[in-house]
Chains A and B, each alone.
Chain A
Amino acid sequence: MLSHRVLTVLNLAAAVSMVGAIYMALVQAPSAINLTETERWAQRIIYFHVPTAWLSMLAFFVTFVAAILYLVRPQPRWDILARCSAELGVAFTIAATASGSIWAKPAWNTWWTWDPRLTTYTIVLLLYIAYFMLRGAIEEPERRARFASVYSIFAFVSVPITFMSIRWWNTIHPVILDPNEDFGLGPGMTLAFVFCIVAFTVLYVALLANRLRLEYTIERVAALRARLLT
C-alpha cells in the first residue's frame, strides 16, 4: 500500500515534469533544418511520440514480469500490478500510434503505411486488447489472474518474433521506404528528447501508483461493505 505522502510527491513531480516536457519540446528544442514549415512543426511530435512508445513497452514489460511473479507466487497484488500496467500500456500504445500517424501525414504524405514497426505495433495493440477480453470472459478472480498471466507471457515473448518476421518480409521486398534511418538529432534536440523520456517515465510511475491506489481502495470498500452487510 502506497502512503499518501509518496503519492502526493509523485503527482507533483509528474505535473512539473510534464509542464517542463511541453516547454522543452515546443520552445527550448531548436527547429529541425532542411524541412518545410509544416514538417518542422510535425517533427516536434518526436518529443511525445517516442516517449509514449517507450512507455508502452515499459508498461507491457512490467505486466510480463508481474505475470511471472504471479505464477511463481500467486498473490493478488501481482495480478493487480499486471492489469494496471497493461491498461496504461494500451493507453500509451494508442497515444503513440495517434501521434505517429499525425507526424506521418506531412512526413510520408500518408496517415499509415505497413512498415514493420507500424504493423508490429498494431499487433501489440490487438494482443493486449485480447488480453483484456480474456480477463473480461472469466468470472473467478483467481483463475482470471492465472490465465491472464499465462497469456501475457505469450504476448510479450511473441512481440520480438513478430517484429523480426515482418521486418524480414519487408526488407526482402524493397518497396517500403525505411523512415527510421537518418534521424540525427542536434545537441539541443537531444537534451529535450532525453528530458521528455524521463518526464514521461515519471508520468507513468505516477499514473500507475494512482491506479494501484484506486484498485486497493475499491478492494477495501468491497471488504467494508461485506462486513457491514453481514
Chain B
Amino acid sequence: MKRYLQVIAAIWWKDVRVELRSKDIFTGMAVFAALALLILNFAFELRVPDKRMVVPGVLWVTVAFASVLGLGRAFISEKDRGSLAGLLLAPVDRSAVYCGKMLANLVFILVVELFVLPLIVLFFNVSLISLPLLLVVALGTIGLAVVGTIFSALTVNTRAREVLLPILLFPIILPVLVSGIRMTIGLLEGDPLSKLGNWLQLLLIFDILYLAIAFLTFDYVVEE
C-alpha cells in the first residue's frame, strides 16, 4: 500500500514538475477561460437584467470547456514524446498510473479555477467566493478529472483525438454540471449548503461511482 501511494505521488510530481517548467497547460487553459468569460460577458450583457442570474452557468461552462483543453494534453504530450510506453512498461500497477495522472489533472484544473473565480467576481460584480462554493467547485472538479483522465487516455490512440474528447466527455459529465450549477445558484441565493444536500449527494455518488469504474477499466484502455 505504501509503495502504491509512492508510485502515485511520483507520477503526480512528474506531471506537476513538467507543468511547472513548461506551463503549457496552465497558460492554455487560463487564457482560454479568460476569453470564454469575455465572450460570455458580451453575450449576456445587453440581454440579462441581472448578471448574477447567469453567473452559475458562466462559471461551470467556462470550467468545463477549459478543462477539456487541459485534459486533452494529459496523454497527448506523453504520447507525442514517446514517454507513454515507458510509463506503461514500468513495473507498477497501472491503476496507480491512472491515479497519479488524475490527481495531476485535478490540480491543474483547480489552479485554473482559482484564477477564474476572481475574474468572475471582477467581470460580473458578484461576491461569489465562499467556503461552501469552493467545496462544490472542488467536488465538481474531481468528477471532471476522474472521467476526463480516462477519456483522455481513451482518445489519445484515436484519429481526431482533440475533437473526440469533448464529444465523449460532455454527455457523461452532465450530472456534474447540473448539480454544480444548481448548488451555485443555491449558494448565490444565500441558501446554506445543508439545504442543498440532495445535490451534494448526487455529486458525491457520481464522483465515487465513476472513480470506481475508471479504476477498474483503466487497464483495458492502456493495454497494448
The 27 listed contacts between A and B (C-beta, < 8 Å) are A123-B171, A134-B158, A137-B161, A137-B164, A146-B220, A146-B223, A149-B220, A150-B150, A150-B217, A150-B221, A151-B168, A154-B147, A155-B172, A157-B209, A158-B171, A158-B174, A161-B202, A161-B206, A161-B209, A162-B174, A162-B175, A164-B202, A165-B174, A165-B178, A168-B182, A168-B198, A168-B199
In the assembled complex, A126 has its CB within 8 A of some CB on chain B: yes
B154 partner residues in chain A, CB cutoff 8 A: 134, 147, 150-151
Give the contacting residue for B172; candidates A133, A137, A158, A164; CB below 8 A.
Answer: A158
* A contact set with B: CB distance below 8 Å: 71, 123, 126-127, 130, 133-134, 137-139, 143, 146-147, 149-151, 153-155, 157-158, 161-162, 164-166, 168-169, 172
Question: CB distance B158 to A169 under 8 Å?
Answer: no
Give the contacting residue for B160; candidates A123, A137, A153, A164; CB below 8 A. A137
Given known contacts A146-B220, A146-B223, A154-B213, A126 and B178 CB-to-CB distance under 8 angstroms:
no
B48 at the interface (CB under 8 A from A): no
Tell me, yes or no, whether B35 is within 8 Å of chain A by CB: no
CA distance A146 to B219 in the complex (A): 10
Within 110-153 of B, Cβ neighbours of A (below 8 Å) are at: 147, 150-151
Name the B residues within 8 Å of A154 (CB-CB).
Answer: 147, 172, 210, 213
| B81: A residues at CB distance < 8 A | none
Query: What chain A residues lie within 8 Å of B199 (beta carbons)?
Result: 168
CB atoms of B221 and A161 under 8 A apart: no
- Residues of B within 8 Å of A169, CB to CB, are 178, 182
Q: Is the CB of B175 within 8 A of A133?
A: no
- B-side interface residues, number (CB < 8 Å): 32
Interface residue? B179 (CB, 8 A): yes
Q: Known interface pairs A123-B174, A134-B154, A137-B159. Does A165 touch B202 (Cβ–Cβ under 8 Å)?
A: yes
CB distance from B2 to the nearest CB of A (A): 29
Measuring CB to CB, which residues of chain B are less than 8 angstroms from any residue of chain A? 147, 150-151, 154-155, 157-161, 164, 167-168, 171-172, 174-175, 178-179, 182, 198-199, 202, 205-206, 209-210, 213, 217, 220-221, 223
- What is the interface of chain A mostly: helix, strand, loop, or mixed? helix
Residues of chain B within 8 A of A158, CB atoms compared: 171-172, 174-175
The distance in angstroms between the C-alpha atoms of A171 and B8, with both chains bound, is: 42
Minimum distance in angstroms from B219 CB to a CB of chain A: 9
The answer for the CA separation of A126 and B221 in the assembled complex, in Å, is 22
A140 nearest CB across to chain B (Å): 9
Cβ contacts under 8 Å, A155 to chain B: 171-172
Contact A127 B172 (CB under 8 A): yes
Is there contact, CB below 8 Å, between B205 and A161?
yes
Contact residues in B for A143 (Cβ distance below 8 Å): 157
Asked whether, in the complex, the Cβ of A137 is within 8 Å of the Cβ of B158, the reply is yes
Residue of B nearest to A128 (CB): B171
Question: Chain B: which residue is nearest A155 at the CB level?
Answer: B172
